[in-house]
Amino acid sequence: MEERLQKYLSNNGISARRKCEEYIVNGRVKVNGEIVTKLGTKIDPEKDIVEFDGKPIKKIENYVYILLNKPIGYVTTVKDQFNRPTVLDLVKVKERILPVGRLDMYTSGALILTNDAEFINKVTHPKNEIEKTYTVTVKGIVSNEDVEKLKNGVEIDDYISGKAKVKILKTNEEKQISRLQITIHEGKNREVRKMCEAIGRKVLALHRRKIGNIDVKNMQIGSWRYLNKQELKQLGLTNA
């Protein structure tokens, strides 16, 4: 059965589908020894030999799904152009895995890694509305009015943030800090930080505690484990 080249690359752990399209256009993919740069090219996985950067692609036989409690100081990429430590330095497995979404270098917490491209698309697509819950420490005392603003959406760059669940966990008048719990389902680039900045609060610490109902509260920072079948079903993997 024929399959689009970019989908084949993505399904076998090269990268997300859009990134694979870039690789094709940039001439990094060969089919049967010939460079292919046309998007939409179809291949027969049973007969055609596909190479990426000169190496044959092996069909994935075993999918893995890993939960990492990411420390601060690690970037959420496979390779970093500035040679900073990446999350793959923490998770050592034989499979070629990719992060599901992103956490910036200065944010800790729950991050999933897998070699299942369709799962990545499902979990990261906004239409599936998988909630992400963050614990945020900000400078200053957050008011109930601030909370209502965050709940209803605030202006960030060129868009309004989606409705959020927000509650104040703790305030400290002496230190002039507040700790919030914020739950969103979109998770655009640095969204929680920008939401807090929009109400005039500088983020001092940011930790993603949960993806859906999957919690890292009992995991040490820097540790990882495999997701179980029940957790995968909660995230919409129907064949788990």
- Active-site positions read 104
Spatial neighbors of 38 by CB under 8 A, at least 6 apart, are 24
**What is residue 162's DSSP assignment?**
P
- In single-letter form, the type of residue at position 212 comes to G
Name the residue among 167, 103, 98, 174 with its Cα closest to residue 136.
167
Beta carbons of 99 and 213 less than 8 angstroms apart: no
- In single-letter form, the type of residue at position 177 comes to I
Separation between Cα atoms, residue 68 and residue 45, nearest integer Å: 32
Beta carbons of 184 and 197 less than 8 angstroms apart: no
Instruction: Give, in order, the Cα–Cα distances in Å from 129 to each of 183, 185, 212.
Output: 11, 5, 9
CA angle 84, 205, 228 (to 5 degrees): 75
Both tokens of 82, joined, read: 């500035």
Question: H/E element holding 108?
Answer: strand 108-114
Separation between Cα atoms, residue 45 and residue 170, nearest integer Å: 55
Separation between Cα atoms, residue 20 and residue 130, nearest integer Å: 25
